Amino acid sequence: MSPIATSTAHYHEDASSHGKELSKNPHVTGKVSGKETEKLVINTIRCLGADLCQQYKGGHPGTVMGAAAIATALWRYSMRYNPANPEWVNRDRFVLSAGHACLLQYIMLHLSGYPTWTLDQIKKYHAPTMDGIAAGHPEIEFPGVELTTGLLGQGIANAVGLAMANKNMAATYNKQDFPLIENKVWCFTGDGCLQEGVGQEAISMAGHWALDNLILVYDNNSVTVDGNIDICFTDDTNAKLQSMGWHVLEVSDGSNDLAAIVDAFDQAKKLTGKPVFINIKTIIGIGSANQNSGKVHGAALGEDDVANVKTALGFDPKQKFFVDDKVYDYFKDTTTKGAQWESDWNDLYERYKKAYPKEGAEFQRRLEGKLEEGWESKLPPKESLPKDPKATRQTSGIILRSVVPQDNSFFVGSADLCESTFVNWDGMVEFQNPETGYGDYSGRQVRYGIREHAMVAAANGLAAWQKGAIVPIMSSYFIFWLYAAPSLRMAALMKLRFIAIATHDSIGVGEDGPTHQPIAFPLFLRALPNFNYIRPADAEEVAGAWILSLKDAEHPSLLSLTRQPVPLLEGTDRNKVQYGAYIVKGDEKEVPDVTLIATGSEVARAVDTAKLLEEQNGYRVRVVSMPLTARFDAQPVEYRRSIIPSSKSLVVSIEPYASFGWAKYAHAGAHMTSFGHSAPYSVLYEHFGFGPKNLAAKISTWAESKRASDGKGWEIPGVGEFEELLLNKGH
Amino acid sequence: MSPIATSTAHYHEDASSHGKELSKNPHVTGKVSGKETEKLVINTIRCLGADLCQQYKGGHPGTVMGAAAIATALWRYSMRYNPANPEWVNRDRFVLSAGHACLLQYIMLHLSGYPTWTLDQIKKYHAPTMDGIAAGHPEIEFPGVELTTGLLGQGIANAVGLAMANKNMAATYNKQDFPLIENKVWCFTGDGCLQEGVGQEAISMAGHWALDNLILVYDNNSVTVDGNIDICFTDDTNAKLQSMGWHVLEVSDGSNDLAAIVDAFDQAKKLTGKPVFINIKTIIGIGSANQNSGKVHGAALGEDDVANVKTALGFDPKQKFFVDDKVYDYFKDTTTKGAQWESDWNDLYERYKKAYPKEGAEFQRRLEGKLEEGWESKLPPKESLPKDPKATRQTSGIILRSVVPQDNSFFVGSADLCESTFVNWDGMVEFQNPETGYGDYSGRQVRYGIREHAMVAAANGLAAWQKGAIVPIMSSYFIFWLYAAPSLRMAALMKLRFIAIATHDSIGVGEDGPTHQPIAFPLFLRALPNFNYIRPADAEEVAGAWILSLKDAEHPSLLSLTRQPVPLLEGTDRNKVQYGAYIVKGDEKEVPDVTLIATGSEVARAVDTAKLLEEQNGYRVRVVSMPLTARFDAQPVEYRRSIIPSSKSLVVSIEPYASFGWAKYAHAGAHMTSFGHSAPYSVLYEHFGFGPKNLAAKISTWAESKRASDGKGWEIPGVGEFEELLLNKGH
């Protein structure tokens, strides 16, 4: 049987800043209950882990077994939560960055008394069923899971976002004697998340902001899928975390020494001024014949080994999924304490609302996921928008400044391009550690640094914090959003609301050249389920894009904005952006000879092209702006056909991205067939063929080749006949 | 005028490992020539930078001015290269990770005598022209540029790849007294690249491998676009680099103290056992009224300020683009020395080829970008492939093992999933620091760690090293390639050859759930120019995918492979993969009622569905496998219509990704309209409707709705009428 010995928690502190070493041999606090029960609890978790993976011969048993003591410390002693109400606003948050170890979390949710997490539910882990909640990675839809994790590194950044949210809410609403928000965010990580770039970015951010409400628990088992960790990862992790502004604690026997773990967690909760990293050495798959090896990471142990484990731990090898009543008893306290905590908090909140009615009402509104009443009316109407050509990144700034400053729901930031993306405003306060002198935690302008990936992953944490209470707005140049693609995808999977301001889209980037000109990336965002990729044509559609994004609480939105100026168009209408596509030029009742579909900065070019085709060729031309393809696809077929009459009209799509996807709507298209080039945007537009004169020439030549033999009307091309009208040879 | 004083290079060493501090006050070596000339050179670079940005009122002058002394040290004293032959194999490599500072590199390429880089060419920086080589970021196509950089962080990882290549080539070919490959890789970085996750991953990798041929030069100007760096980035960078296994040097006045910089570079070249980080403090935009601020980062200074700068530096403010002859004289040496270095090396190489004819011939073959003769014939023919169903990740392993072990051109690795992606082989040697005992630098199995982004960015460096000499093969689970999307894109932009092994594609991932099931990401890869996204149907197509990828020296390829078994199909043909799509079932001469297009693991399902439609509905059904859409699009129209007769046959696409893009070929499709779910793959296929019975039912119901009114033939749907046959409600 694995012994549960009392060991020590060593405290490391950056010598240059403090130099002191706290409690090298701390006394175990009185909290830890009788040793025998502890052994039983920890071994029960291990055997459950072995059984539940063996059941359907799959899953990740190693961490369940190795980190059972850590989990016991967290759920039994260290975290503050109420199992009966997983949504209690002032709970501690737990994020499993090592999402593949979800079975450990599920077992703990069960043992600690979350009603939904019955033993039967846990038994559905890896079962051939669609109705389980014990998914292969933790999913936000289920109680006790803060965010969906499993793509390595994301969880650390999500946890940073939750910690930011708590800091900001506390700084905004807490009052003397009214600690409305006062809790910790616990994040459980393996080495994988620490190796990933997004994890490192997030760690650096958290250190910069001195998020001392964040505790990162490192399950340091020294084993990876492919073997010992030192085949690929030999950082001095403690020193690295210290260099990024973290407190560092260490526990030497984290698989067994519950007392030391609890003690380290107690210390972590008391430390201030920096986030806390706890490096806990564990033995993966402890008890298995293959313990301490990659073999126990992601595969069931096998019947024989499971039996051996149980025998070694004093369990009956024939009994599966066994939980002694003593184990449940051991966790009974969590339900009682949790109810008390929440009840005390509810009292506090009631008193708060009386003492601070304005703040209380605002806090309550945000908990209900509502924005400030009447926000939409604060947007400038079309007639007040600038008449002269402006970049849509600029007009987005106008909209932002009309709604964001006065509503604390908005949490705005950029990856070091605040002024260029127009997300700043007069009088804004930066979200900063007050000691820096740059701002404080009530600030809502966030300097994410040049860390796009962690910016979005953290924003997912912000958006998930009491979903709807915070609307994260982040910004960067469009191409750098590709760095954050995994987190954009996770936001869509989790159905979180945020607004991503992506400026400098398409070849309009100009001189910075092909590295910075997105050609294919936008198409990924169009293909992504639950995601609003919006490319507004002008300031009016920018307003529409903001309205749509803010009203759609179940989707993240990305606004694809120009670097270069575009005119305010006569036919644009903010209220029609929600339909995905609509007519900006031409009569709805008349079937056009040619329908031009364009997006963003090309809508104005399409309008100019249409005029040329009308003048030079006598065509009836309709121009359709299609800012959001997914919304258009979701319209009734009658609407779609009324906008794009592709069975009667020749349809041409115009957009300086790859043509991929456009054959769904158009018979031919003017698109990029290569990467871009480094030159001023006006030169590029001409070179690649997007000048209205060239477009009109190419379109009319193509159209004439489709003249019906009787000279009247057109031979409408069929599926499979899509033609590229521009064949450019760039990179 | 800014003084050029002699200062010191401070050497920092990890106290725990060595504890010694080298030459705290080193003597300046005799190399640095007369001070007045140096001042003139450095100030000329600064004024050129100011002029060239002012000319078209754009670009990045700040770093050109601040880092002029660093650049002078590099090109005049520290790097070994031959301007007359930028491709000389044993040159030092320079990678500008801070790609926006390219103007500095262009000026140095001009001054140091690269014939292509005339002053006239440099003057085209930001010019309204398509024919310049002074692009907004450095581009691989132009002499003296190793890789296209500018997306922050990429360059550091590219440089790691180049350093790996040099280490591997040296370990493979160098012999006693024949140091065929012996050079340094210099990488110039700003803070942006150090903040980016990919940069941090790469730094950790380089430290792990102890790449002491890599020198990372940090232009530490403490200023970012948005202001002072400490608004967002407060890492102790030196300590951080040390924690990741790097030597750290420091130069305190890097804008002026040329001697100290040269001395630090000399030290860096001599240090062994670890890569070297040189933290050089500089003043961005030095001499400008806005020096030391974000204002000089990415905007021209303005006419007045440019004049002020020139006056302060002792230049005539009216004279533009002025280069004194003394400046050219100062750099004359580089051409002479470069020619001598290469000539000496050529002699060495001739003697090498005589002394080691086998190695010499292999080295020569690789320099010519050729694989080992006859490699294609070593692939197992179709009749030798496994008859029982196998995952394509497994059959890819069979192909890999038939060509990779014996040809040193292949440099293989994984992001910690070597066995699961089947990229290992018997007798493989790991690429490792020999001191670890895990392998040595001649090894060709690379443990990239859980760092997918840096893995691919490093592979770009490997592939760019004497383009074609090395074929990088990397592997991970498909969804984690999304972490590396920016580097996949850069490979396409640079037209580099590699093979990305992406296993666990589609919902076939199964139990790991929606986080791990790609739904939209593959469509990005299809839309990306110059990229082969190949989804082979079975072992035979896997062979075809490998052949295509290896023969296509101008494109990166990603093989999209299954976790789950698929049968070897009768109709598949490796030689037809190159056409992008071809018929696997059905008669080419007969027009089918229904054409099913499928990819990867769904081709077998389409064949089964076709049989049901034939039996139950009496349809003539054709099945088309389309492993590579881009190649199909590039075929002549006759071929395309012969394979997919969409004007006569009803066409249905089948693929468990989003339908985005399929309307180009099909009238209806069976695709994912949501994210996936966590359950065994067989359950998921049924749930989401991809079981052949369900497919046949859905397709026939839809087809019957298209019966022509005369009962014979079909009413073929037009563009805009694409129908989703499966409407699944997942996440």
Q: What is the pLDDT of residues B278-334, one digit of tens each?
A: 999 999 999 999 999 889 988 999 999 999 999 999 999 999 999 999 999 999 999
Give the model's confidence band at B27: pLDDT under 50 very low, under 70 low, under 90 confident, else very high.
very low
Establish if A231 touches chain B: CB-CB under 8 angstroms. Answer: yes
Whether pLDDT at B481 is above 60: yes
Of the pLDDT bands very low, low, confident and very high (cuts 50, 70, 90), residue A455 is: very high
State mean pLDDT over A504-522.
Answer: 97
Q: Which residues of A touch B129 (CB under 8 A)?
A: 679, 683
For A542-563, the DSSP string reads HHHHHHHHHH-TTS-EEEE--S
Tell me, yes or no, if B691 comes closer than 8 A to chain A by beta carbon: no
Instruction: Give the CA distances from residue A415 to residues A453, A525, B229, B231, in Å, rounded to whole numbers and listed in that order.
Output: 9, 20, 12, 12
Look at phi and psi of residue A430 and say left if phi exceeds 0, alpha if psi is from -120 to 50, else beta: beta
pLDDT for the residue B34: 57
Buried b (16+ CB within 10 A) or exposed e, A263-289: bbbbbbbebeebbbbbbbbbbbbbbbe
**For residue A25, is pLDDT > 50?**
no
Higher pLDDT, residue A728 or A253? A253
Cα A560 from Cα A502, distance rounded (Å): 5
Q: Distance (Å) from the C-alpha of residue A697 to the closest C-alpha of chain B?
A: 22
The pLDDT score that the predictor gives to residue A34 is 57
B555 touches chain A (CB under 8 A): no
Give the pLDDT confidence score for residue A225 in this predicted structure.
79
The string of pLDDT tens digits covering residues A74-86 is 999 999 999 999 9
pLDDT surpasses 80 at B618: yes
Among chain A residues, CA nearest to B191: A450
**Pairing status of strand B247-251 against strand B9-12:** antiparallel
Is B160 a residue whose pLDDT tops 50?
yes
pLDDT level of residue A15 (50, 70, 90 thresholds)? very low
Q: Does B727 touch chain A (CB under 8 A)?
A: no
The one-letter amino acid code at A361 reads A
ipTM of the modeled complex? 0.96
pLDDT for residue B10 is more than 70: no
Residue B720 pLDDT greater than 90, yes or no: yes
Neighbours of B254 (CB within 10 A): 30
Residue B214 near residue B269, CB atoms below 8 Å = no
Residues 6+ apart with CB under 8 A from B647: A718, A719, A720, A721, B641, B716
Confidence of residue B712 (pLDDT cuts 50, 70, 90): confident
Q: Rounded to a whole number, what is the distance in Å from the CA of A148 to chain B's nearest CA? A: 8
Q: How confident is the model at residue A631 (pLDDT cuts 50, 70, 90)?
A: very high
Selection from A14, A651, A531 nearest residue A273 by Cα: A14
Query: Which segments of B634-673 does DSSP mark as H helices, in order?
Result: 637-643
Residue of A342, A452, A540, A541 marked active site: A452
pLDDT of residue A171: 98
Phi-psi region of B487 (alpha: psi -120 to 50; beta: other; left: phi over 0): alpha
Please name every residue paired with B476 in a beta bridge, in sequence order, or none if there are none.
Answer: B502
Sorted by where each begins, the domain ranges of chain A are: 9-19+31-339, 375-566, 581-724
Q: What is the pLDDT of residue B17?
A: 34
Residue A2 pLDDT > 80, yes or no?
no
Q: Which residues of B touch A716 (CB under 8 A)?
A: 718-719
In a 10 Å sphere around its CB, with 0-12 CB exposed, 13-18 middle and 19+ buried, how is residue A133 labelled? buried
Which of A58-67, B53-62, B419-428, B706-715 comes out lowest in average pLDDT?
B706-715
Interface A-B: count of C-beta contacts within 8 A: 410
Note the pLDDT of residue B244: 98
Spatial distance between the Cα atoms of A54 and B603, rounded to a whole number of angstroms? 32
User: By C-alpha distance, which of B481, B491, B460 is closest to A731?
Assistant: B491
* Closest CA in chain A for residue B647: A718
Task: Say which residue, B146 or B28, is predicted with more confidence.
Answer: B146
Q: Which of B552, B401, B579, B393 is nearest to B471 (CA)?
A: B552
B372 contact A CB<8A = no
Query: Facing residues of A533 across strands?
Result: A558
Residues in chain B closer than 8 A to A682 (CB atoms) = 128
Note the pLDDT of residue A115. Answer: 97
Those residues whose C-beta lies under 8 Å from the C-beta of residue A87, and which sit 6 or more positions away, are A466
Fold type of domain A9-19+31-339: Rossmann fold (3.40.50)
- Report the phi/psi class of residue A79: left, alpha or beta, with left for phi > 0 and alpha for psi in -120 to 50: beta
Compare CB distances from A529 to B234, B519, B666 and report the shortest one's residue: B519
- Residue A357 binned pLDDT confidence (cut-offs 50, 70, 90): very high
Q: What is the DSSP letter of B368?
A: T
Residue B23 has pLDDT above 60, yes or no: no
Look at the block and give the residue holding tokens 């009309």: A402
Q: Do the domains at A9-19+31-339 and A375-566 have one common CATH topology?
A: yes
The reported pLDDT for the residue numbered B493 is 98
User: 3-class secondary structure for B265-279?
Assistant: HHHHHHCCCCCEEEE
For A438-454, letters b (16+ CB in 10 Å) and e give: bbbbbbbbbbbbbbbbb
Q: Which tens digit of pLDDT belongs to each residue from B599-616?
A: 999 999 999 999 999 999
- The token pair at A174 is 């807490």
CB atoms inside a 10 Å sphere around CB A371: 18
Residues of the binding site of A for Mg(2+): 191, 221, 223
Please determine, for residue A580, whether its predicted confidence score (pLDDT) is greater than 60: yes
What's the whole-number mean pLDDT along residues B667-696?
A: 97
pLDDT digits (tens, 9 = 90+) for B43-80: 999 999 999 999 999 999 999 999 999 999 999 999 99
Please, what CATH class does the domain formed by B9-19+33-339 belong to?
Answer: alpha beta
Please, what CATH class does the domain formed by B375-566 belong to? alpha beta
Query: What topology does CATH give the domain B580-724?
Result: Rossmann fold (3.40.50)
Would you say B180 and B170 are in contact if contact means Cβ atoms under 8 Å apart? yes
- Mean pLDDT of all residues in chain A? 94
CA dist A481 to A49, B40, B193, B504, Å? 38, 42, 15, 25
Instruction: Output the pLDDT for position B487.
Output: 98
Average pLDDT over residues A411-433: 96
- DSSP-derived secondary structure letter, B105: H
Question: Average pLDDT, stretch A618-626?
Answer: 98
Residues B380-393 have a mean pLDDT of: 97
- Residue count (chain A): 731
Least confident of A510-514, B1-5, B60-64, B139-143: B1-5
Q: Does residue A452 carry a catalytic annotation?
A: yes
Find out whether A718 and A727 touch, Cβ atoms under 8 Å.
no
User: Does residue B585 sit at the A interface (CB-CB below 8 Å)?
Assistant: no
Q: Taking residues B713-719, report their average pLDDT.
A: 96
The pLDDT of B13-22, averaged and rounded, is 34
Judged by a CB distance cut-off of 8 A, whether residue B682 touches chain A is yes
Q: Do A366 and A529 form a contact (C-beta atoms < 8 A)?
A: no
Question: For residue range A268-326, what is the model confidence (pLDDT) as tens digits?
Answer: 999 999 999 999 999 999 999 999 988 988 899 999 999 999 999 999 999 999 999 99
**B235-284 pLDDT tens trace:** 999 999 999 999 999 999 999 999 999 999 999 999 999 999 999 999 99
Whether pLDDT at B378 is above 90: yes
Q: What confidence score (pLDDT) does residue A60 get?
A: 95
pLDDT at residue number A712: 80
The closest alpha carbon to A440, from A449, A430, A426, belongs to: A430
Interface subset of B 254-293, CB within 8 angstroms of A: none
Residues from chain A contacting residue B528 (CB–CB below 8 Å): 519-520, 658
pLDDT score at B227: 80
Domain A581-724 adopts which CATH fold?
Rossmann fold (3.40.50)
B479, B526, B720 member nearest A644 (Cβ): B720
